[in-house]
Amino acid sequence: MAIITFFGHAAFELVLKGLDGQEKKVLIDPWLENPQSPIKPSAYRGTRVDYIIVTHDHGDHLGNSFEIAKMTGAKFVAVYELAEEASSQGIEAIGANVGGPLSVPDLKIVFTPAVHSSSKGTPTGVVVSGKDATIYHAGDTGLFGDMALIGELYKPDVALLSIGGHFTMGINEAAKAVQLIKPRIAIPMHYNTFPVIRVDPEEFKQLVEKTASTRVVVLKPEEKYSL
């Protein structure tokens, strides 16, 4: 059973069974000092984290990644240039790029395109697969047609999609993304953190469930979803 925990904005914890049969804990874009997060980075002190994956270097996504990696010994996974920065701070880092599966032994991790900006390297989304689930975190992105290929190739059970607009997809664009990707579950993110991205996630839920067979799950910060 995979467990997804939302910490507000675009920060998630994934717990899933690795390809080696052992439980893996993965953090994606752990900005835990965001205004919605009920926990702080110190919550991970003394705990095991296997991987920290960062989609791009903007502060609301890189967030507290370096601090948590140093506390936990987690491997930091990101586009090459950002991973090099982590490595320069003494963090064990895996630098990669958009393409095929990364060379890690216990999970299938694939960086996907994202239509956005960044200072170091290119912005990405990421698909994480274990034995019990495949989860697509789209990162910060606008809508693009090749999301259909992500759905076709990786068949994610869950898509984590930005809906706040201004910097990313808004509700209409994210609903179209659901039609392209065809996940079983869509979880909205990247909304209501700041006034400029304030939207109603229930509007997204209603729109998607009118136009697609996907179920929308709206999570409150620190709420979990199991599949």
Residue 113: name the closest of 191, 180, 49 by CA: 180
Instruction: Please report whether residue 131 resides in a domain.
Output: yes
* Beta partners for residue 12, in sequence order: 6, 28
Tell me: pLDDT of 100 over 90.
Answer: yes
Tell me: pLDDT of 56 over 90.
Answer: yes
> Number of folded domains in the chain?
1
Instruction: Please report whether residue 222 resides in a domain.
Output: no
Instruction: Please report whether residue 187 resides in a domain.
Output: yes
DSSP H/E element including 161: strand 158-162
Tell me: pLDDT of 108 over 90.
Answer: yes
Yes or no: say if 96 and 54 are a contact pair by the CB < 8 Å rule.
Answer: no
pLDDT, position 212: 85
- What pTM did the predictor assign? 0.98
Instruction: Please report whether residue 223 resides in a domain.
Output: no
Q: What is the mean pLDDT of the chain?
A: 97
User: For the domain that residue 45 is a member of, what is the CATH number?
Assistant: 3.60.15.10
C-alpha neighbours within 13 Å on the C-beta side of residue 97: 6
SS3 call for 65:
helix
C-alpha dihedral sign at 101, 141, 207, 222 = positive
CA distance 192 to 208: 19
- Alpha-helix residue ranges (DSSP H) falling in 42-191: 59-62, 65-72, 80-88, 147-154, 171-181
Instruction: Please report whether residue 113 resides in a domain.
Output: yes
Residue 136: name the closest of 146, 126, 145 by CA: 126
Q: Which tens digits make up the pLDDT trace of 121-140?
A: 999 999 999 999 999 999 99
Determine the structural domain holding residue 141 and report its residue range. 3-217
Strands laid side by side in the 224-226 sheet: 93-96, 75-79, 51-53, 23-28, 12-17, 3-6, 224-226
Q: DSSP string of 78-106?
A: EEHHHHHHHHHTT--EEEE-SSS--S-SS
Q: Which tens digits make up the pLDDT trace of 67-91?
A: 999 999 999 999 999 999 999 999 9
C-alpha dihedral sign at 80, 72, 160, 18 = positive
Instruction: Please report whether residue 224 resides in a domain.
Output: no
pLDDT, position 48: 96
Q: Which amino acid is at 12?
A: F
